Every structure is written in C-alpha cells, then in structure tokens.
C-alpha cells in the first residue's frame, strides 16, 4: 500500500489546503532563482499564489486537471496541474512534492495520472518546462518518456517570464 493517494480534483480544493503545498513550491522556485543570481521581490510568492487563483479554473475539467497527493492523514504532500495548451497538447504545470514525500514515487504518480487525463481529453502530446537547477524534474521527465527539446516552446513560463528563457529546459511526450 502506498503512503499517498492521488486525488483528481473536479473542483478547487479549499484555498488554505492548496496554498500550503503551493507555498512550499513557490518558496523552492524563488530560492532556486535567487541561487541563480536573480533578485526576487519578497512579495513574489504571494503574487504567484494570487496569479494561480486568478487562473485556477484553467486547471479543472474539461480543459485541464488539478491533482493533489495526500498522505493517509489527509495532508497534501504533492500537486500537479495540466491545462490545455492547444487542440492536441497539454502543458504540465506546478509539479511539486514536499520533502516528506520525496523518493516515494509521488512525483512519478502525479505525472502518470496527468498523462492519463490528457489521453482521456483526447490530447496527443504533453509539454513541460523547468529551470536548469530543477535537477529532480530534469532527471524524472526522461525516465517517463519525455524528450528534452533543442528549441524552446512558448509555454506559459516562456511567455510570462522572459528573463528565465535562457534557463528553461523544455520537454515533450507524444501520447
């Protein structure tokens, strides 16, 4: 029996529940960006949470999915989202697993569950981007059949954060 369960959210989870895992995710992203030499506004994590909630419906059926990984206690220890990028493509976003769930297969399960949702939506391809220091995802994507691309894709991050473009790695998987 696994130490977690993947939950497909038909509706947005309670804001406080989801903000807990998203706050951890944004803290890691901000720290990695600072380690890369970027000066980050201290309000950036809160701004990122607000931006997510403004667009959160994009990650719900029928045009996306929002998954959370929960421990048997109900605590959210991971999340993963996908939104329809175009008619045939889904974009993976906000894959994150807390320190307490690392090494348990939670990240893999979150990606595989989103792949199944994408297939059920009739999508033919998944794309993702990640920053250079995110070695966890840069290692995991190829193990799950994703191919690192030589050319950038105009993903949400590519469009919204042009200063990150030189530090992004792009992955795709045909379904």
CB–CB of 129/159 below 8 Å? no
Q: Please tell me the predicted confidence (pLDDT) of residue 120.
A: 97
pLDDT of 93 > 70? The answer is yes
pLDDT grade for 2, boundaries at 50, 70 and 90: low
Tokens of 157: 């991050």
What confidence tens digit (pLDDT) does each residue in 77-91 have?
Answer: 999 999 999 999 999
Average pLDDT of every residue of the chain: 94
Distance CA 47, CA 41 (A): 10
CATH number of the domain residue 142 falls in = 3.40.630.30
Q: Which two tokens stand for residue 129?
A: 């981007």
Look at residue 125 in the predicted model and tell me its pLDDT.
98
Total number of domains constituting the chain: 1
Three-state secondary structure string covering the chain: CCCEEEEECCCCCCHHHHHHHHHHHHHHHHHHHHHCCCCCCCCHHHHHHHHHHHHHHHHCCCCEEEEEEEECCCCEEEEEEEEEEECCEEEEEEEEECHHHCCCCHHHHHHHHHHHHHHHCCCCEEEEEEECCCHHHHHHHHHCCCEECCCCCCCHHHHHCHHHHHHEEEEEEEC
| Domain membership of residue 42 as a residue range | 4-174
């Amino acid at each position: 029996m696994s130490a977690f369960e993947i939950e497909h959210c038909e509706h947005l989870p309670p804001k406080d529940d989801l903000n807990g895992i998203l706050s951890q995710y944004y803290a890691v992203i901000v720290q990695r960006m600072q380690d890369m030499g970027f000066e980050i506004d201290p309000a950036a994590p809160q701004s990122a949470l607000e931006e997510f909630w403004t667009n959160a419906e994009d990650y719900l059926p029928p045009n996306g999915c929002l998954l959370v990984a929960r421990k048997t206690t109900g605590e959210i220890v991971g999340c993963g989202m996908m939104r329809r990028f175009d008619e045939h493509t889904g974009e993976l976003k906000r894959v994150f697993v807390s320190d307490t769930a690392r090494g348990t297969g939670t990240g893999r399960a979150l990606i595989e569950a989103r792949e199944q949702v994408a297939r059920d939506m009739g999508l033919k391809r998944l794309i993702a981007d990640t920053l250079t220091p995110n070695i966890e995802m840069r290692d995991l994507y190829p193990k799950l059949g994703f191919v690192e691309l030589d050319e950038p894709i105009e993903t949400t991050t590519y469009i919204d954060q042009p200063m990150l473009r030189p530090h992004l790695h792009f992955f795709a998987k045909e379904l």
